Structure formats: structure tokens, C-alpha cells
Chain A
Amino acid sequence: MSSSTTNTTTISTAGPPSRRNTELAMLVFAVIIPVFAYANAGLALSDEMPSGMLSYGIGLGLLAAVGHLVVRKFAPYADPLLLPIATLLNGLGLVLIWRLDQSKRLAQRAESIGQVFAPSAPNQLIYSALGVALFVGVLILLKDHRLLQRYTYISMVVALILLILPVFFPPRFGARIWITLGSFSIQPGEFAKIIIAVFFSGYLMVKRDALALASRRFMGLYLPRGRDLGPILVVWAISILILVFETDLGTSLLFFGLFVVMLYVATERTSWIVFGMLMSAVGAVGVATFEPHVQQRVDAWLDPFAAFKTGGSDQIAQAMMAFGSGGVFGTGLGQGNSDLIGFAANSDFILATIGEELGLAGTMAILLLYGLIVERGVRTALAARDPFGKLLAIGLSAAFAIQVFVVAGGVMGLIPLTGMTMPFIAQGGSSVIANWALVAILIKISDTARRPAPAPAPTTDAEMTQVVRP
């Protein structure tokens, strides 16, 4: 009797919508791990528990608690993993920076070139607090991520200003990517990546049909029309200009890669990827031939150990040796020699310290944590109900993924090194603050996406029931 209709099924998600308690448990875990790492590094470096351990643990715990409470109040259905993973990475970054602060080699090196060696960890803790403050601010003030859609073209202008502004400031360390205000300096590229993702998602949401459908088929590829090709050419030109005038390979790669990824996601046309690859290859080769700064980077990438013969920057060579001496399980926190890298050991090259002191096992775990953040972002994009939210979530996670790839690939010698920071781990205020804002926007989108659908509105029948009058 019942077998006739059993082939009709309903498929629905099983998980309970709010996972706040899971998030709390993971957060506690994420605070304990860095405290353990801190104790480990302290014991290895000076044979005693580090003095600041209690205050450090309490500081990180407080930041995590504030973040969690705000998420509980303002984004109750948000993804349970984004905040704990960000907290863990930030905490581990603080430990690694503190560990490099203790290095006598780095202190000597700073003195030998006439600088005062100042520990970076306290500043980094302040920047982390500012980052969490911005995280809280975004969660409270951004009621709905779709509000950002209104600022599509304003965000384009703001992003371009942020990207162009560093040209007018003096270069530091060979790249014009800083805005210097007195003793204070900001890296606007870090914030520009979020703002540019807002612009791309707003723009592509409107234009994606024209980009996807109005195309001619040629040799198995869909060639877009010339007028649709316009924006990609403009973005390409801008990223090349950044590369030329600011000698900043990383930001231009991030900027262009982000646009290609979002174009592909919005239009589902593989041809965009092919075009993007071709154009970035042309741009990179062109600039590498003419720009001496970029040329140096490429040479250092092709033969990192030449620096020992010719005398140049041996950073990449030292980083590769750090990875090599780490082996599978690493030398242990505080017991490596990654401080031989010298300059930027605690920012761009911090992955080498992870590679040496935590080994392949630790590096893989850290990369997996980055991967998990990206996965949660992509998952959020899949679950989001509005196209703008989908594109924004994809854009932000793609920006995050590209940044990790560019800096990790550069440090490991896979691609030429570019000046970018490992999100959350590397020393640098702009980076940590901007990435907390990025995670806040992802959490806000995931809150909207995972919120149970509102109950269907009660039917308002247009006509009233007629009354039978006997």
C-alpha cells in the first residue's frame, strides 16, 4: 500500500544551524595550543617558563572571548571554524615572533647596521587587539553584507586610491607599498584586497550574463566580446602599473588573480582562466625583463645559492636551508637557526621558522589550517543565497588563498619571492588587522547563509470566503 509513493524523497541538511558551543570548545583549544607553544619555546630558549606567559595567555584568551561573545550575539548562525582557526594562527604567529625576538643574531644584526633592535611581539599583540576590535566593529556595524553592494563603484575608487597612494611615499626595502605617516606606516594593499573584492562582486553580479553569454566560439574556447574584455584589460593594466611603479609583484598578482578567479566563478567560462594565465604570463615576463628590482627577484629564485658566491641577498637560500634542516618533525620551537635569514625573518619569511622548528608535519598542519579557512569561505559561498554574497565570499577566500600561495611559494622557492605577509602569522599590523576584517565579513556572510530559511509567509488569500446565506 505504501510502496507506491516511497520513491519521493526530501533532501535537507542535518546539522543544527547554530554551532556556537562547538566554536567555544574549539576556541578554548585554539588558545591552549599557543600557550603550550610559548612554554615550549621559553623552556628551549632559556630553560625556564617565560615570564610573560600568564599575561600572554590571558591576553589571547580575552581576545578570543570577546570575539566569541560578539559572534554569539551578532552572528549566531556563523560558521564555527573561522574564528577558532584565525585565533590559533594569530596566537602561533605571536609565539613565533616572540621566539625570533629572543634571537641574539637578529639583535646583533640590527646593531651592526645601526638600528635599535626592538622586540616585535608586544606590538603585534596590540595589532592583534586592534584586529579583533575591527572584527567586532564589522560584525556589529555591518548589519547585512548586501549593504556593501551599494558601494560597488565607491569601493572601486577607494581601492584604486589605496593602491596608487604608496607611489607618492618613499620606498622602503625596495618596494613602494607603504604609506608613511611619521613613525607610523600602513600597507594599504592589505586593505585594498578586501575593498577590491567588494567592487568585483558588485560589478560581476551585474555584468556576468553579458560576460558569460555574449561570446563567440573559437577553437573550443569561448572568446568574449571586445567590450566585455574591457574591464579585464583595465584590471590587467592597473596590476602591471602597480608592478612597474611600486615594484610590488605580490599585490599585482593578488589583484589580477582575484579578478580572474571571480570572473571564472561568475561566468563559468574556462576561457577566462586561459586568458588570465596568458595575460599574467605576458605581464610578468615583460616586467621582469625591464624592471631591475623584479629581475633580481627572478634571478634569486632561479639560483638562490648564487648569493653566497656573488654576495647578494641570501634570504631565500637561508630559508631553503631552514626547511631542509627542519626535516619531518622539526628541531623544536626555539631550537632552530632560522634567524640566519636576517631581515624579514619574522614577517615575509616566518614560514621558514615554522618549517625549521616544526618540520614538515607542522608546516603541513599550518597550511591545512589556511586551507580550512579557504574551504569554509568557499562553503559559505556555496551556501549563500544571494549572488553578491556568493561572489564576495569566493573573492575573499580567493584573495586569502592567493596570498598564502604567493608568500609560501616564494619562501619555499616555488615562485619568485614577493613582498607579502603570511596572513595572521607574520609580523605586521596592516596584515593582521585587514585579515581580521576579512574573517569578520566571511563570518557575517556565513551567518546569513546558514540562518534557517524564514517560514513561508502566511497565505493572504485575495478573495474572502463567501458566506452561504440560507
Chain B
Amino acid sequence: MSELTLTVMRLGFLAVLWLFVIVAVQVIRSDLFGTRVTQRGSARRGAPDRPQQQQQRQSAPPPQRQQSGGRGRRGAPTKLVVSEGTLTGTTVALQGQTITLGRAHDSTIVLDDDYASSRHARIYPDRDGQWIVEDLGSTNGTYLDRTRLTTPTPIALGAPIRIGKTVIELRK
């Protein structure tokens, strides 16, 4: 076998061996730099998260809805206020996220209220930025003003939403 062929093979083999090492290091790079920082509390504009990442994220809020048109609209509510019940005085800033209400520990507002269900109701903005309240099949029902909700209903500013002994309303 000619000297040249052997030299080429020798150097080629070393190159392939090192290529393997480099590829291996590339594979573990994701472990070294593989943390992602997710902004919470504000509407995310990035690509939607993959499901397993959502599973890994601890204490992450429920999936947020992109709010395209309605933000900053005049007259839009900016906060949710609890006006009656054990949580009186609690406010939650409305930033396009879904707010869940109920006795379950992972609710946005955990109600300490014997008459509320684990997952009682949720409040979310629709595509136009209009806030909607929806009853999630609760035992005692959700009332907007005096009427018991049967379908997702838009919330007027200042209208009382009653869940058990708790009353909440949206304010500017």
C-alpha cells in the first residue's frame, strides 16, 4: 500500500475521531446552556411553547391567550378586585392572562369559600380584548349581577360576579 494512501488514512482517521468528539460535545451543549428564561406576567409574543416544556415549568400560569387588538383600548378594565368574601381587597392585574377561580390550589385566585367548587369559573379575554367570564360546571353556579351564567358571557365594567360568598368585579 502506498505511503500516500496510508498517510491520508491516518490523518483521516484522526479527523473522524475528533469529529466524533466534537459532535458529542455539541450534543451535550444543550445541557450546559439549555436553560430558557420565560417572562411571566406579561403577554408572550414568542412561538408557542412545546407541551413538555409547559409540563416542566413549575408554578407556571395557565396558557395565556395572545391579545392582539384590545390592549390599551380606552375603557378596558385593568384589574380584578374582590369586593366581598374572605379575600376582600385582593386585586389581580389583568394582562391578557386567563384567571381561574376556585378552591383548587393551582387556581389564580384560590377561594377559601365552602360554597365554591374546586374549579369554579374562569375569566379570560376574547380575541377582541373583551373580558369573558365562564362557569366551569360549578356546583352552585356563577352569577353575573343577578343572572346565573349558562354560557360564557362578556363582563361589563363594575358588574359584580358572585361565586359562593365571594363577589369580584373588574375595574379600570
In chain B, positions 11-52 with a C-beta closer than 8 Å to chain A are 11-14, 16-18, 20-21, 23-25, 27-28, 30-31, 34-43, 50, 52
Q: Are B10 and A333 in contact (CB under 8 A)?
A: yes
One of B53-61, B121-129, B150-158 contacting the partner: B53-61
Residues of B with C-beta under 8 A to A13: 31, 34-36, 56
A157 to B164 alpha-carbon distance, docked (Å) = 64
Please, what's the 1-or-0 string for B125-157, where 1 marks a CB less than 8 Å from any CB in chain A? 000000000000011100000000000000000
Q: Are B38 and A459 in contact (CB under 8 A)?
A: no
Q: Are B13 and A333 in contact (CB under 8 A)?
A: yes
Q: Which bucket holds chain B's interface residue count?
A: 35 or more
Supposing A368-B21, A452-B55, A467-B139 touch, asked if A81 and B39 sit within 8 A by C-beta, the answer is no
Q: Are B40 and A5 in contact (CB under 8 A)?
A: yes
A22 to B59 alpha-carbon distance, docked (Å) = 31
Q: Are B35 and A465 in contact (CB under 8 A)?
A: no
Q: Within the complex, which residue of A6, A14, A463 is in contact with B36, where a contact is CB–CB below 8 Å?
A: A14
Whether, in the assembled complex, A278 has its beta carbon less than 8 Å from a beta carbon of chain B, the answer is no
Please, what's the 1-or-0 string for A294-338, where 1 marks a CB less than 8 Å from any CB in chain B? 000000000000000000000000000000000001111101000
* Min distance, Cβ B165 to any Cβ of chain A, angstroms: 10
Please, what's the 1-or-0 string for B1-15, where 1 marks a CB less than 8 Å from any CB in chain A? 100011101111110
Q: Are A5 and B27 in contact (CB under 8 A)?
A: no
Q: Which bucket holds chain A's interface residue count?
A: 35 or more
Q: Within the complex, which residue of A36, A329, A455 is in contact with B11, where a contact is CB–CB below 8 Å?
A: A329
Q: Are A365 and B18 in contact (CB under 8 A)?
A: yes
Residues of A with C-beta under 8 A to B23: 26, 29
Q: Are A466 and B24 in contact (CB under 8 A)?
A: no
Supposing A10-B57, A19-B27, A453-B56 touch, asked if A1 and B95 sit within 8 A by C-beta, the answer is yes
What total of A-B pairs shows CB separation below 8 Å?
169
Please, what's the 1-or-0 string for A76-110, where 1 marks a CB less than 8 Å from any CB in chain B? 00001100110010000000000000000000000
Supposing A2-B43, A14-B53 touch, asked if A376 and B28 sit within 8 A by C-beta, the answer is yes
A89 to B41 alpha-carbon distance, docked (Å) = 49
Q: Are A43 and B9 in contact (CB under 8 A)?
A: yes
Supposing A36-B16, A40-B9, A335-B6 touch, asked if A9 and B40 sit within 8 A by C-beta, the answer is yes
B32 nearest CB neighbor, chain A only? A379
Supposing A19-B27, A375-B28, A455-B55 touch, asked if A8 and B41 sit within 8 A by C-beta, the answer is yes
Q: Are B58 and A365 in contact (CB under 8 A)?
A: no
Whether, in the assembled complex, A11 has its beta carbon less than 8 Å from a beta carbon of chain B, the answer is yes
* Min distance, Cβ B99 to any Cβ of chain A, angstroms: 14
Whether, in the assembled complex, A342 has its beta carbon less than 8 Å from a beta carbon of chain B, the answer is no
One of A122-130, A231-239, A356-364 contacting the partner: A356-364
Residues of A with C-beta under 8 A to B140: 465, 467-468
Q: Are A11 and B36 in contact (CB under 8 A)?
A: yes
Q: Are B58 and A15 in contact (CB under 8 A)?
A: no
Residues of B with C-beta under 8 A to A331: 10
Whether, in the assembled complex, B166 has its beta carbon less than 8 Å from a beta carbon of chain A, the answer is no
Supposing A362-B14, A362-B17 touch, asked if A459 and B53 sit within 8 A by C-beta, the answer is no
A80 nearest CB neighbor, chain B only? B27
Q: Are A33 and B16 in contact (CB under 8 A)?
A: yes
Residues of B with C-beta under 8 A to A332: 6-7, 9-10
Residues of A with C-beta under 8 A to B105: 459
Residues of B with C-beta under 8 A to A88: 20
Residues of A with C-beta under 8 A to B39: 6, 8-9
Please, what's the 1-or-0 string for A3-42, where 1 marks a CB less than 8 Å from any CB in chain B? 1111011111111110100100010011011001101100
Residues of B with C-beta under 8 A to A333: 10, 13
Residues of A with C-beta under 8 A to B50: 16
A452 to B58 alpha-carbon distance, docked (Å) = 12
Q: Are A2 and B41 in contact (CB under 8 A)?
A: yes
Q: Within the complex, which residue of A1, A37, A461 is in contact with B118, where a contact is CB–CB below 8 Å?
A: A461
A10 to B59 alpha-carbon distance, docked (Å) = 9
Q: Are B115 and A466 in contact (CB under 8 A)?
A: yes
In chain B, positions 91-133 with a C-beta closer than 8 Å to chain A are 93, 95, 103-106, 114-118
B120 nearest CB neighbor, chain A only? A465
Q: Within the complex, which residue of A358, A368, A452 is in contact with B56, where a contact is CB–CB below 8 Å?
A: A452
- The list of the 5 closest CB pairs from A to B, nearest first, reads A5-B41, A332-B10, A2-B42, A15-B30, A14-B34
